[in-house]
């Protein structure tokens, strides 16, 4: 298959999404149309993953060095595969969730458009293309955050916009520097090679790291992520746990390993700077999650911490580091999506958004909470779930480098695991105990629906949750095979 065909799923999703807004469809018709577009795009992407040749398709020349081109290499395959697998499931979930929301048309349109743009990021073969799709991603996701229409949503969208465009500005510095040196193509090992002004290159890399890191929610630029939990749960689940934030992490990995190259950065002050930032974020995210009483905000801070696991592995600047970064990228996406789906199911069915309102729900919504418990155990890092294996792999890769900050990072990982246990079990335990052990406050008892009226989430929410929770266990058992597969794809 020719690489030019890479454009097809990207355009299909973007055009299909936008078209769905303008077509005269009723609700049911719109849902069928969107699901068809998403499924066809996923199937086509799957075909491309298996059969596409690994060469560059140049689609447009801006100048003789700056081109708009697509290519499917190993890293792109992993990211695109992940996104293509998760999007149809989330669309199914969104159908159930958005039943009672207003303006679903705009929501579905931009939801599908984001799919195409994320695929574009995965397929980008040089920095310019990736930067283009990166900015488009911000633009496409802003309407999704605005969907609730409340003042809080507007503020969240504004904050997201300011942070993202600010970050993109910093990333642009990195891109411009690369462009000035000739080539912006992604080549494993980087294009800089033996560049004589190494100090300047490292400084620019730091700028670009911080810039792309905004989307990957590193401290101190994480602020937009918890605030964006005001968006509907399919958005927080897919975008802010999988697509947007993982696109940020993916961009950082592309920047470090494929554009600048690790030879320049290994054992330098830039690596120390980036590693320190990720370690601080790990502890920061886990600590802030401890005191959040809003369910989704707690999970958002948990995402902040886990993203920095990925970035920490990426800043190790070794092939093992990159491999384990991708492993955790994939595993964490599965875990976080289950966790957010469960939170959304609870919110949708019971209207309970705070964790001290969850007493006794486990008996009424057993499927939801079993999936949540499985994903939480995986998040903490209990074997045999997949979280244990990816964390162990990152820790091993870090200890192998022998750097002192890396050892500190391993300690931070373990402390964060302990804190994760505290903040997830704080949700699980009261849910599984009888409601009398953690009774509702008088105010809540008056406003919320009583426990007897609570029903389990419907099949459109349960099926994706259960499927992905089972995958959490399954990928744990086969984590070594998956690791080998990724190594073969990447190197």
Binding site for other proteins (CB under 8 A): 162, 219-221, 223, 283-284, 287-288, 290-291, 377, 380, 382-384, 388, 392, 395-396, 399-400, 410-411, 414-415, 417-418, 421-422, 425, 429, 432-434, 437, 479-480
Q: Distance (Å, rounded) from C-alpha 25 to C-alpha 102? A: 15
Q: How far is the CB of 287 from other proteins (least distance, A)?
A: 4
Return the number of the residue (112 or 376) whose C-beta is nearest other proteins. 376
Return the number of the residue (160 or 177) whose C-beta is nearest other proteins. 160
Q: How far is the CB of 360 from other proteins (least distance, A)?
A: 10
Return the number of the residue (269 or 418) whose C-beta is nearest other proteins. 418
Whole-number Cα distances in Å, 231 to 101, 119, 224 = 12, 22, 12
Question: Residue 118 corresponds to which tokens in the numbers above?
Answer: 């994320």
Return the number of the residue (79 or 284) whose C-beta is nearest other proteins. 284
Return the number of the residue (399 or 467) whose C-beta is nearest other proteins. 399
Q: How far is the CB of 59 from other proteins (least distance, A)?
A: 37
Q: How far is the CB of 380 from other proteins (least distance, A)?
A: 7
Return the number of the residue (351 or 411) whose C-beta is nearest other proteins. 411
Q: How far is the CB of 480 from other proteins (least distance, A)?
A: 4
Question: What burial letters (b/e) apply to 400-437, b meaning 16+ CB within 10 Å?
Answer: ebebebbeebbebbeebbebbbebbebbbebbbeebee
Q: How far is the CB of 205 from other proteins (least distance, A)?
A: 22
Nearest to 179 by CA among 199, 206, 208: 208
Q: How far is the CB of 85 from other proteins (least distance, A)?
A: 24
- The 3-class secondary structure across the chain, one letter per residue, is CCHHHHHHHHHHHHHHHHHHHHCCCCHHHHHHHHHHHHHHHHHHHHHHHHHCCCCCEEEEECCCCCEEEECCCHHHHHHHHHHHHHHHHHHHHHHHHHHHCCCHHHHHHHHHHHHHHHHHHHHECEHHHHHHHHHHHHHHHHHHHHCCCCHHHHHHHHHHHHHHHHHHHHHHHHHHHHHHCCCCECCCCCCCCCCCCHHHHHHHHHHHHHHHHHHCCCCCCCCHHHHHHHCCHHHHHHHHHHHHHHHHHHHHHHHHHHHHCHHHHCCCHHHHHHHHHHHHHHHHHHHHHHCCCEHHHHHHHHHHHHHHHHHHHHCCCCHHHHHHHHHHHHHHHHHHHHHHHHHHHHHHHHCCCEHHHCCCHHHHCHHHHHHHHHHHHHHHCCCCCHHHHHHHHHHHHHHHHCCHHHHHHHHHHHHHHHHHHHHHHHHHHHHHCCCCCCCCCHHHHHHCCCHHHCCCCCHHHHHHHHHHHHHHHHHHHCHHHHHHHHHHHHC
Return the number of the residue (97 or 331) whose C-beta is nearest other proteins. 331
Q: How far is the CB of 187 from other proteins (least distance, A)?
A: 30
Return the number of the residue (172 or 432) whose C-beta is nearest other proteins. 432
Return the number of the residue (109 or 225) whose C-beta is nearest other proteins. 225
Whether 32 contacts 91, CB under 8 Å: no
Return the number of the residue (144 or 227) whose C-beta is nearest other proteins. 227
Cβ partners under 8 Å of residue 417, min gap 6: 380, 381, 391
Q: How far is the CB of 106 from other proteins (least distance, A)?
A: 27
Return the number of the residue (434 or 450) whose C-beta is nearest other proteins. 434
Q: How far is the CB of 157 from other proteins (least distance, A)?
A: 15
Q: How far is the CB of 437 from other proteins (least distance, A)?
A: 5
Return the number of the residue (69 or 479) whose C-beta is nearest other proteins. 479
Burial class (CB in 10 A: 0-12, 13-18, 19+), 173: middle
Q: How far is the CB of 166 from other proteins (least distance, A)?
A: 9
Q: How far is the CB of 489 from other proteins (least distance, A)?
A: 18
Return the number of the residue (93 or 163) whose C-beta is nearest other proteins. 163
């Amino acid at each position: 298959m020719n690489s030019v065909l890479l454009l097809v799923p990207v355009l299909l999703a973007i055009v299909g999404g936008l078209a769905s807004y303008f077509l005269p469809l009723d609700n049911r018709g719109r849902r069928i149309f969107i699901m068809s577009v998403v499924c066809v795009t996923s199937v086509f992407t799957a075909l491309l993953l298996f059969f596409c040749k690994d060469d560059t398709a140049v689609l447009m020349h801006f100048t003789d060095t700056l081109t708009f081109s697509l290519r499917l290499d190993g890293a792109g395959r992993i990211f695109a595969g992940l996104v293509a697998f998760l999007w149809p499931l989330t669309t199914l979930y969104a159908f159930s969730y958005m039943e009672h929301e207003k303006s679903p048309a705009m929501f579905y349109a931009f939801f599908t458009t984001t799919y195409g743009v994320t695929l574009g990021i995965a397929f980008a073969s040089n920095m310019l293309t990736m930067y283009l799709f990166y900015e488009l991603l911000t633009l496409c996701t802003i309407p999704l955050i605005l969907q609730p229409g409340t003042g809080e949503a507007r503020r969240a969208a504004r904050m997201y916009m300011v942070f993202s465009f600010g970050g993109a500005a910093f990333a642009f510095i990195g891109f411009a520097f690369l462009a000035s040196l000739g080539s912006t193509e992604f080549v494993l090992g980087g294009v800089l090679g033996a560049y004589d002004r190494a100090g300047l290159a490292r400084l620019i890399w730091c700028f670009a790291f911080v810039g792309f890191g905004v989307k990957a929610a590193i401290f101190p630029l994480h602020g937009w992520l918890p605030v964006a939990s005001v968006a509907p749960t399919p958005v927080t689940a897919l975008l802010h746990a999988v697509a947007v934030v993982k696109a940020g992490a993916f961009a950082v990995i592309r920047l470090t390993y494929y554009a600048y190259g690790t030879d320049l950065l290994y054992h330098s002050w830039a690596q120390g700077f980036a590693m320190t930032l990720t370690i601080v974020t790990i502890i920061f995210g886990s600590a802030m999650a401890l005191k959040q009483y809003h369910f989704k905000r707690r999970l958002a801070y948990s995402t902040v911490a886990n993203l920095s696991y990925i970035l920490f592995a990426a800043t190790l600047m070794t092939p093992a580091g990159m491999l384990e970064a991708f492993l955790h990228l994939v595993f964490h996406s599965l875990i976080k999506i289950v966790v957010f789906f469960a939170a959304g199911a609870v919110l949708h069915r019971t209207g309970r958004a705070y964790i001290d309102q969850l007493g006794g729900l486990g008996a009424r919504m057993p499927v939801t909470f079993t999936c949540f418990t499985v994903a939480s155990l995986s998040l903490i890092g209990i074997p045999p779930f997949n979280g244990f294996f990816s964390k162990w792999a990152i820790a091993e890769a870090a200890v192998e480098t022998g750097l002192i900050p890396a050892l500190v990072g391993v300690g931070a990982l373990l402390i964060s695991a302990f804190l994760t246990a505290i903040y997830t079990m704080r949700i699980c335990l009261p849910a599984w105990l009888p409601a009398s052990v953690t009774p509702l406050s008088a105010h809540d008892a008056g406003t919320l629906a009583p426990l007897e009226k609570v029903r389990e989430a419907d099949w459109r929410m349960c099926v994706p949750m259960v499927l992905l929770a089972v995958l959490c266990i399954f990928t744990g058992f086969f984590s070594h095979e998956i690791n080998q597969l990724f190594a073969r794809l990447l190197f």
